[in-house]
Amino acid sequence: MTVSTAALLGGCAGTGVPKSAGHTRVASAPAQLWPDRPPAPPPSPDSGGEAGPMPLPALPRVPSGDIRKLSALSVVQAQIAADARRDAPAFDERTENKIAQCAAEPESCPVRAAEYHDLTGDGKNELIVGVEGEEHLLAVWAYMLRDGVVNRILDTGGTPTAVEVANSELIMREPTDLPGYEIRTVHSWDAKHQIMEVRATEFDWRTASSASPPPERTR
């Protein structure tokens, strides 16, 4: 046994010699509180959102697979017509009238310029549209092509300070009453249901992008 080893075993510790930090707490399994409490029933498929992609067969088919062949305005108008048939309008009458006049009065058109990003991870761009409603509300819809047919894969909205796309995820940032904080909602592709689902909703530090100027309106 060397001198240094004997010193450690004897509990003596000089300068530069490691000391024991004591016993490490052993990790334990989570303790379930109120295990006899009945769980909440699973949400109904009709409780909100869409259970799967929503096709818009009224639009022309796009055999090329390039969704840029369709104008964002035509997609929005087809969506409004489909919502009317389901008796589920997304906008009030005033906003719908503005959308109907977009071609004649582009300066007051509430439809934002089209954005194209790969949201599904298949290497192809999807169409993302934003429509301004009353009280600073912004509807955000995303569409993909399936066998040439336009399908809506995201239907969300709010009063965002910023909308971003990162790593095929769509992120909405909304203000809160807490100074310096915002709500960050992340929408990710769900391959099983073939739609964008909410992956996370959390408080986050307000970012510089939240103060960026709004995107231009469609032309």
* Span 145-173, pLDDT tens digits: 999 999 999 999 999 999 999 999 999 99
Percent of the chain with pLDDT over 90: 65
Domain boundary assignment for the chain: 54-210
The pLDDT tens digits of the residues spanning 68-105 come to: 999 999 999 999 999 999 999 999 999 999 999 999 99
Residues 57, 151 contacting (CB under 8 angstroms): no
Q: Residue 216: what pLDDT?
A: 54
Q: Please report which confidence band the pLDDT of residue 9 belongs to, taking 50, 70 and 90 as the band edges.
A: very low
Within 10 Å of residue 82's Cβ, how many Cβ atoms?
17
Tens of pLDDT, residue by residue over 102-152, are 999 999 999 999 999 999 999 999 999 999 999 889 999 999 999 999 999
pLDDT band per the 50, 70, 90 thresholds, residue 208: low
Q: How confident is the model at residue 4 (pLDDT cuts 50, 70, 90)?
A: very low
pTM, rounded to two decimals: 0.74
Going by pLDDT thresholds of 50, 70 and 90, the confidence category of residue 209 is low
What secondary structure letter does DSSP report for 6? Answer: H
What is the helix (H) or strand (E) element at residue 171, kind and residue range?
Answer: strand 169-175
Residue 28's pLDDT is: 63
Q: What is the pLDDT of residues 26-38, one digit of tens each?
A: 666 677 677 786 7
pLDDT at 218: 54
- Written as six digits, the tokens of 62 are 């796009």
Per residue in 30-44, is it b (16+ CB within 10 Å) or e — as a string? eeeeeeeeeeeeeee
pLDDT at 14: 52
Residue, of 7 and 131, whose pLDDT is higher: 131
